[in-house]
Structure 1
Amino acid sequence: MRTTVDLLIDDNLVAAFPKGSKILSANRHGNSAWATTARIVVLLPDGTESMYFLKCAENDAGRVMMEGEFIAMSELHMWMPHFVPKPHSCGKYRIEDPEKYFFLSEYIDKNNSMPNPDDLCKKLAELHSISISRNGQFGFHATTCLGRQPQKVGWEKNWTVFFTKLLKHVTVADFDINGPWKELQMIEQQIFDIVIPLLIGNLEKDGRTIKPCLIHNDLWEGNTGTSNSNGKVYVFDSAAIYAHNEMEIGHWRCHYNKIHNEVYTKTYLKEIKPSEPEDEWDDRNRMYSIYYKIAYSCNQKAKGKAVRQDAYNDMYYLVDKYATSPKPLD
């Protein structure tokens, strides 16, 4: 039986499968901006063939990404096994120079057409409705990455406190990666000092509460796929956290995603109504989108300059509405 391989396979990767398994093929498949991806066909000890999806990345940053994705996808699979491919394992290659880490999951033969809005949003709403963190707090039990950017996911009882830390972490990373911008730094301070306590804080005032539900947290069209065998929508490449459900669709406001099409947001809101105060929903959606735009700026560096400015403009709008007017951007 011939084995075809066009990427590195070593003993540690083989050991992730049941003893006596044989890798029949391991060929590059799919695309990832931060990792190498492949499809692996394995002959199992019982004589059956099984296909897996492999992702691997180098150095400690790769370890954090692979471990984070495995744990995030495992958490999603626990709540919604019909919505994500079943995670298999993660681990480290035996080679040391450079260090290399992998993540394995069930392989789903899919096409990359835009996801059906009804299928996607019904499943997403189900995930948000049935899931809740074990400790009733916001955060996650392992570091997950938005792209290659690690997130600040330590547990917090209060959503406003958690979201503030989450956003502050990525804004600091943005200045480290892309350099200083005085006007952005000034307006971010007003966002943290004034806008977030008012706008996000309102969710937990006057007896209101919000549930820490599991969100995918990197849900754009590139992280979805429609199965060629059953026509169902699946999601991939999660940066999961337990959060306010509305944060999930803040990503859909970002113009650089095709899922920006308003049919997706409208369909989701038919499944789960906005939190109270309902009249502040659009402002919260704008606020949540800022997080994803700043993370995009971190990941894309110079290519994300226009999105970084877009985040500034969103902050300007919110500060102008909830605080004092900053200096306009020329």
Structure 2
Amino acid sequence: MESLKPNADKTVWDREPSVPSRLIEYVDQGVRAKLPPGTQVRGIAPSGNSYWARTAKIDAVDAAGNPTPFFLKVHQFEHGRDMVETEFESMRLMHDVMPEFVMRPLAWGAFTEGPDAFFLLVPFYDLCRKSIKPPEYVALMAEFHRRGAVPGGKFGLPFHTYAGRIRQDFPMRATWEQCFLDGMVPLFDAEEEAQGADEELTRLRQSFLTNVVPRLLRPLETEGCRLVPTLCHGDLWYGNAAVDTKTGRTMIFDAAPMYAPAEYDLGPWFAHRELLGYDYVAEYVKHVPRLEPADEFEDRLNLYWV
């Protein structure tokens, strides 16, 4: 839920998001309407950090007077509306697979008083990253992938998601190679639109799509090899997992999910920039064997975190 500040450059994290802070100085009627019946709001205060949104903790009690705090994430404008709706659908999909590992989304909607403001509402968890136990976390990810497997299913996702503010479209396809290719093309297009045409990027794009991707992914589904699509988180960097200090449960959030080979989720752990490093990959393959061809496993992980 982007509720924790990872170890990042302060010049990035200390920058104010464009969403006005006044939107989390009160609990809008649109938000109140989505709270469980009988909820009494006691207050609201900023909580956590986000690159793109305003985040807050709503202090509340239920009809019996028991504390039931909520976490609120607020975006603006049509792009923000799309982001909260797709995050809600992503969380719901993942929660249905493994509810003890993924927080349950409560609602999303529009402010009634705010200017083009939209929100996501979930239960509030006091999260801590320092408490993550690598073997337990990795075992939970392996179990999540096991439960999310769809033998005979397709790869991709029937709706788009977001990685940060970048829209991702990985359409449902019969093969992983075609799904990955069709998902990467709009990302290249978006980069070119944002930065302008570039000769070197054009050459790299051509080589990446016509040589690299087929070379690494096609062998997974030829010569007797079969892939089972499984629901993947899609963005397992250090900042998207933490431990609930109240229950001790490890939880994942802020996903960009799709049905893919389970190894797709390991890409961020393989990246040298991540605090969750290759040790996590080594732990994972104790639970789930490397796909064949196994000698190209690390090459594929390099592909996934590019």
Normalised by the length of structure 2, the TM-score is 0.87
- Give the superposition deviation at 1:181: 2.8
Work out which of the residue numbers 12, 29, 52 in structure 1 matches 2:70.
52
Contact 1:138-1:157 at 8 Å conserved across structures: yes
Matched ranges for 1:21-100 at <5 A: 21-95=39-113, 97=115, 99-100=116-117
Work out which of the residue numbers 222, 235, 240 in structure 2 matches 1:223.
240
Contact 2:108-2:118 at 8 Å conserved across structures: yes
Contact 1:160-1:197 at 8 Å conserved across structures: yes
Q: Distance between the aligned counterparts of 1:200 and 1:76, measured in 2?
A: 25
Q: Distance between the aligned counterparts of 1:229 and 1:18, measured in 2?
A: 22
- Give the superposition deviation at 1:178: 2.7
Q: Distance between the aligned counterparts of 1:225 and 1:27, measured in 2?
A: 21
Rate the CA distance shift 1:30–1:192 in 2: closer, same or farther, 3 A: same
Tell me what 1:307 maps to: none
SS in 2 for 1:168: helix
- Give the superposition deviation at 1:6: 5.3
Structure 1 position 118 matched with structure 2 position 135: yes
Rate the CA distance shift 1:34–1:127 in 2: closer, same or farther, 3 A: same
Tell me what 1:234 maps to: 251
Tell me what 1:191 maps to: 208
Q: Distance between the aligned counterparts of 2:151 and 2:104, measured in 1?
A: 21
Contact 1:114-1:221 at 8 Å conserved across structures: no
Matched-pair identity in %: 30
* TM-superposition CA deviations, 1:204-247 (whole Å, max 9, x none): 10121111101111111111111212322111111111111111
Structure 1 position 155 matched with structure 2 position 176: no
More helix by share: 1
- Give the superposition deviation at 1:251: 1.8
Q: Give aligned pairs, total.
A: 284
Matched ranges for 1:251-270 at <5 A: 251-259=268-276, 261-270=277-286
RMSD across aligned positions (CA): 1.9
Unaligned regions of 5+ residues in structure 2, if any?
1-22
List structure 1 segments (4+ residues) > 6 angstroms apart after TM superposition. none
Rate the CA distance shift 1:95–1:187 in 2: closer, same or farther, 3 A: same
* TM-superposition CA deviations, 1:244-293 (whole Å, max 9, x none): 1111111223333212x221111111111111111111111111111xxx
Contact 1:64-1:145 at 8 Å conserved across structures: no
Unaligned regions of 5+ residues in structure 1, if any?
291-330
Contact 2:61-2:69 at 8 Å conserved across structures: no
Tell me what 1:321 maps to: none
Normalised by the length of structure 1, the TM-score is 0.81
- Give the superposition deviation at 1:66: 0.7
Q: Distance between the aligned counterparts of 2:37 and 2:125, measured in 1?
A: 24
Contact 2:170-2:180 at 8 Å conserved across structures: no
- Give the superposition deviation at 1:20: 4.0
- Give the superposition deviation at 1:69: 1.1
